[in-house]
Amino acid sequence: MAAGGEATRPTIVVVDDASEVRALVRTRLRLSGLLDVVGEGGDGAEAVEVVRALRPALVLLDVSMPVMDGLEALPRILEVSPDTQVVMYSGFQEEGLAHRAIELGASAFLEKSTDLDALAGDLVRLLEARDAPSATRVGPAMVVDGDGERRVLREHLERFREVFEDAAIGMATVTLAGQIVRANRSLGAILDRSVDELVGAAYATFAGTASGALDRMLAAILSGEEPVGQVEHDVVGSVAPRRVVATFAPVLDSGRRPLYLFVQVQDVTVQRGAEEELRRSEVGFRLLVDNVEDYAILMLSPEGLIESWNAGAQRIKGYTEDEIIGRHFRVFYPPDVQESGHPERELEIALRDGHYEEEGWRVRKDGSRFWATVLITAVHDRDGQHVGFAKVTRDVTRRREQEEALRASEERFRLLVEAVSDYAIFMLSPEGLIASWNAGAQRSKGYAADEIIGRHFRTFYPPELQEARHPEHELELAIRDGSYEEEGWRVRKDGSRFWANVVITAVRDPRGRLVGFAKVTRDITERKVMLEERDAAAAALTAANAQLQQASEDQAHFLAVTAHELRTPVSVLGGTADLLISHWTELDDVEREDLLVGMGASASRLRRLLDDLLTASRLQSSRLELEHGPVDVGQVVTECVATQRRTHPDVVIEAGVEGAVDVMGDAGRLGQVVDNLVNNALLHGAPPVRVTARGDGDDVVVEVQDSGGGVPPETQARLFDRFSTGRARGGTGLGLFIVRQLARAHGGDASYRPADGDLPGAFVVRLPRTGAPAPDDAS
């Protein structure tokens, strides 16, 4: 279209797929005298070409158009004419759509409900505010002059302004080119995107390989070939695999032309998965049935006509599928059974009761007979409509022959049972009443046949089992499982008890009806006593082996640790002596003093280790001698702590004494107790270490605490055992052993108190006070 109007007026191109809208807007803009409409376009592709040719100051661009919509055309317009300002013009009232348009480069987003009288002025103001930091959105004031104008604009307003945000299915409105301009939360959840991410995106991006089908469907809708369209696809980019069905319906104007599209999206992932699983199950079941050879499995119509035939049916009955399909199933029955109408009655009963089951003679194709078990089940569809019968037949002729042979041998077996004396073998009625009695039963239980037959078998059970109804429970289990077996106490006629092995077997007739129980009982009291004695001996042997194994492991660990404990000071002494002998004159006084101090410390370490070894040896052989006398435990604690501070100057070791803490004992050995506890805290715990002595009734209590994590529960049981180290950070495993033994030698004891709330864990030594009664004299 040629440019018109005065040269000083800004130029504008109007793009809308509705010609009457373009005419209306073009006229209103011309009458305003503010803008010069120099071109028009019916879709986004035309808009790009018109702008490329005319380079207008403004483009008023519709959102929903066929071929190429406004959102797709917007960046292309700005690419061919960067100085042109694009104003999006749409009937969609969607905040997210406006934001998306601004993101793509639009200067403003106008709704078609904007007052047309003010439209030209608004557009001019946008040009004047070209350098403003952000574009604006004009609100939806609905002021239109003339009924014709009101009708045209109203047709292009969004028909569904309030999409139900709480709808369970996904909903969206899309442009005619397939771009989303409004979406609800459910659609966002289905497509694994936020609503803001969906607005402005092409729906085809989520359809993956189904995008071609989607394009064809949209083309059919827009051409009028299809009123609605539906496409099923996997969701591209979803966190978990997801399958959806999207239904597209056009929203039409009064001329029956599409304005935009309304989409409903339903998640069918679970439904399709279930359908696929059902399909696989049906295929597998059909293959299974077709390949079963031991059972004739076939379907009958409601009238009894054969509709399916498997390999087992052909093998058992002799007919091929072509020979038998469509014939009535009465063909398998002997003539006299057919004449009586028995096959038809079977179907009547199956339809009435759900199924019918029996055993009887059937006839093969060659006329031979076989004994069969038959199960007929009525089949209904999901609506409850009767659609036929499933019939399963098995040839059990050989089983029947075996049952006949078994019955023939039952008499011989009965004679055998009656003669057995080591087992109580007898029959029970279905109610548990004794129906037979053999010599073994009389010998083990003490009753004669005339004394016990007719009584309930609970007679043989102790009173507590009778009250618990255990005998009746045994019969219930035998009925359910076919047999029941246990061992337990039973009672003889004279009241004595014996340990018995019991097997109860449910006995049924050829038709499967319960006729009673076979009960076999054997007195195995001697075997039980022998097994218990054997188990006790085995348990004792296992415990002894465990103790020996533990002792062996502890001793091996002790030897390894002792070698390590000896190796370090011996190496220090030897190395230092060699250094002093070879280089005495080359060393200064400070170096010689440090080396001599190290030799002294190593010698002290050796003396302490030797002292522990000698003490442990004497304690083990009960040859330890104590020099008894009055001992101030507080002084012992103070001196030991002072010595440890000198040995470990970089470690905080505290002492605390409360009141008089005098005992009768050996001061040196009690010092050894405190030293060992402090050494144990330094080796296995963490500083600071605190040693306290206090009175507690008739006892003096010495406690040693450190700031470590305490002793693990699994270690506490063997904490004071000889050679027990817990395999942690060295030590001979003798220190705590000596502590407890020395404490007990003084009439006291040593223990470990685990942490409890605010009370920290500690090693505790209790000694009797001076003047307190000795343990043997205590009342």
What pLDDT shows up at residue 225? 87
Percentage of the chain exceeding pLDDT 90: 34
Q: What is the mean pLDDT of residues 62-68?
A: 83
Which range of residues forms the domain containing residue 412? 401-523
Residue that wins the pLDDT comparison between 717 and 391: 391
Say yes or no: 386 and 408 in one domain: no
Residues 28 and 93: beta-carbon distance below 8 Å: no
- Residue 69, pLDDT above cutoff 90: no
Whether 198 maps to a domain, the answer reads: yes
pLDDT of residue 159: 42
Q: What is the pLDDT of residue 486?
A: 93
Instruction: Name the more confident of 178 and 491.
Output: 491
In one-letter notation, the amino acid at residue 542 is T
Residue 8 has a pLDDT of: 77
Task: Identify which of 577-581, 618-622, 708-712, 765-769 has the greatest average pLDDT.
Answer: 765-769
Residue 284 domain flag = no
Q: Are residues 18 and 37 in the same domain?
A: yes
Last residue of a domain, one of 155, 181, 201: 155
- Same domain for 610 and 496, yes or no, is no
pLDDT at 566 over 90: no
Q: Do 419 and 484 fall into the same domain? A: yes
Q: For residue range 321-348, list pLDDT tens digits in order.
A: 999 999 999 999 999 999 999 999 999 9
Do both 265 and 377 map to the same domain? no
Looking at per-residue pLDDT, the higher value among 275 and 373 belongs to 373
Instruction: Give domain status of residue 165, yes or no.
Output: no
Q: Looking at residue 303, which CATH number applies to its domain?
A: 3.30.450.20
Please list, residue by residue across 33-70, b when 16 or more beta carbons sit within 10 angstroms of its beta carbon and e when fewer do. Answer: ebbbbbbbbbbbbbbbebbeebebbbbbbbbbbbebbb
In this prediction, residue 777 carries a pLDDT of: 42
**Is pLDDT of 306 > 90?**
yes
Predicted local confidence at residue 389, as pLDDT: 94
pLDDT at 498 > cutoff 80: yes
pLDDT at 720: 76
pLDDT of residue 456: 95
Claim to verify: residue 663 and residue 570 sit in the same structural domain? no
Count the domains in the chain: 6
Residue 51 lies in a domain: yes
Per-residue pLDDT, 773? 61
More confident residue, 647 or 319: 319
pLDDT at residue 431 greater than cutoff 90: yes
Within-domain flag for 123: yes
Q: Extract the tokens encoding 261.
A: 């599209």
CATH number at residue 102: 3.40.50.2300
Is residue 426 located within the same domain as residue 510?
Answer: yes
Overall average pLDDT of the 252-277 stretch:
80
Highest mean pLDDT among 115-129, 187-201, 357-371: 357-371
The whole-number average pLDDT for the span 69-92 is 88
Together in a domain, 358 and 406 = no
pLDDT band at 142 (very low <50, low <70, confident <90, very high): very low
Mean pLDDT of 597-604: 69
Closest residue by Cα to residue 711 from 693, 726, 691, 724: 726
Domain assignment present for 658: yes
Residues 658 and 741 in one domain: yes
Q: Is residue 778 part of a domain?
A: no
pLDDT greater than 50 at residue 139: no
Same domain, 93 and 126: yes
| Cα 387 from chain centre | 42
Residue 362, Cβ density class (10 Å: 0-12 exposed, 13-18 middle, ≥19 buried)? buried
Of 379, 395, 411, the residue that ends a domain is 395
254 plus 303 within the same structural domain: no
pLDDT bucket at 472, cuts 50 / 70 / 90: very high
Across 298-312, 498-512, 742-756, least confident range: 742-756
Average pLDDT over residues 41-70: 90
Q: Which of 127, 155, 183 represents a domain boundary (last residue)? A: 155
**262 within some domain:** yes
Average pLDDT, the chain: 81
Domain co-membership, 514 together with 543: no
Task: Give the helix/strand (H/E) hosting 245.
Answer: strand 243-252
Of the candidate ranges 5-19, 337-351, 589-603, 667-681, the one whose mean pLDDT is the lowest: 589-603
More confident: 478 or 711: 478
Identity of residue 52: R
Task: State residue 281's pLDDT score.
Answer: 61
What pLDDT, on the 0 to 100 scale, is given for residue 725?
A: 60
CATH number, residue 688: 3.30.565.10
Q: Is the bond into 649 cis (omega within 30 degrees of 0)?
A: no
